Chains A and B, each alone.
Chain A
Amino acid sequence: MLQFKLVLLGDSSVGKSSIVHRFVKDSFDEFRESTIGAAFLSQTVKLEKHQDVTIKFEIWDTAGQERYKSLAPMYYRNANAALIVYDVTQPGSLVKAQSWVEELKHKVGDQDLVICLVGNKLDLCEADSSVRQVEIDDAQTYAQEQHLLFHEVSAKTGAGIAKIFQEMGEKVYERKTAESAASAATQPRKTLNVELQRPSTNDSTSCCA
């Protein structure tokens, strides 16, 4: 089975862990503890577009708190997909999301990475449209400019969650197959799996340096 590394980034308490939880367990927990460090888990997705193709996402659910920011490169380096989450009721979180997009483009290189911008907590706007602080058009325009996938979702109701992962799955799969088809001639039997183990660096003591 093809494995892809996916990382969730975004400001704290925008709902990254809730999105993962909805995707993996299809449930929602109103009182979620904020993530410390990062949580790793994997989930398979059956692709609708491609028959009999199931891929596996290895997901890094990172902490949004500023103090863990210096650890982020470890999680997004080598990633195949990134889910950048903001909260549609918090304009500041979109700014933060944009800075993540910048950082990823700068550090990872666009061509390898599928980035999806996700506005979460849509359920709050449905209940009361006045709480919306980020207009869908603004975010969408930005996403188009940057060539990002874009969705508004609600981890609470589950609306749109499965679709993001489905779409990301298709994208990374298509890229991978195109890539391996191209390199098949030159490098036969090269493993299809992503390289998970990185050579360690000597940067052992600092976390928040």
Chain B
Amino acid sequence: MKRFALLTLTLMLALPLSATSVEANDKRIKAGFIYVGPVGDAGWTYSHDQARKEMEALPFVEPSTYIESVPEGAESARVITGLVRKGHNLVFTTSFGYMDATLDVAKRNKDVVFMHCSGYKTAENVGNYFGRMYEPRYLTGIVAGKMTKANRIGYVAAFPIPEVIRGINAFTLGVRSVNPKAEVRVVWTQTWFDPGIERDAADSLLDVGADVLTMHQDAPATLQAAEARGAYVIGYNTDMRSFAPNAFLTAPVWNWGPLYSRIARDVQDGTWKPESIWWGMQQDLVRLAPLNDKIPAEVKLLVEEKTEAIKAGKLHPFAGPIKDQNGETQIAAGVIPTDGDLLSMSFFVEGVQGTIPK
């Protein structure tokens, strides 16, 4: 009896699989998106939604669905399952906290392709993707290092996870590459999205004398704080210069469009494989927003040079030697850390003032 049940189950699983491979060429893509914030956040979720719209322009892609402000964790599995039930065959889950829920739902829905953003797990029908945001972060660090007069730069940070720590480190390395005397002060808000707290955190950094700010948050509150107090600011996620026309220098921004379109195409023609995609500036997944005209020409030139070097693979922000806050060597001279090392980064480089909550 048990064997019979297993056999039927296998048949049931195999049937739709073979069916799809036969008619691969006229396969339609119906994509669903799970967002952690509202599409109107002007930041992270907004950047994904722009790419979703870009992907919809492909001829074989049907109008897609998105569900916003989905809480992270086990609860999200219900929402993801809902998308699958409604016939979506490609699901993007766009926040770290959806990782386990995505794998869980994927296990029970083998005919659907899942793409999880910013995680590290894959499965038969689950791939993950992210961008090497540390590359443009490094470049913004160069700008900040050149523009600071107080040699004190403030960083409004969300949560002490490797992604954020990597950003702070890359930024600081950029700063110190042009200004070894500058320090980067970090304040943790312990939230991705709370404009009030972000504003207050930014103010607290200005209060201790920082004259350039940057942030790893989803709202543009830090930009407004800098604008109001006549400091400079470097944004994140999207080009938010309208919030700080005078203070805004530049921002490392996301450009998910090309990646989403490629994934849709791969799923459509059957060449999709479960892999970990980690694109950088070379593939144009991450970019630098246009530089403010207040930045001197020679700094612009330097940034341009370094951009080309990164794109050509000649410059790696984390190429050793790199020392941590205590002066101990974490990455030896001549060594380029592996992606695994980068993805699990949990120390601050020399030049960061602040602690990583443990």
Instruction: Answer yes or no: do A and B interact.
Output: no
Q: Interface on A for B, CB 8 Å cutoff?
A: none
Q: Interface on B for A, CB 8 Å cutoff?
A: none
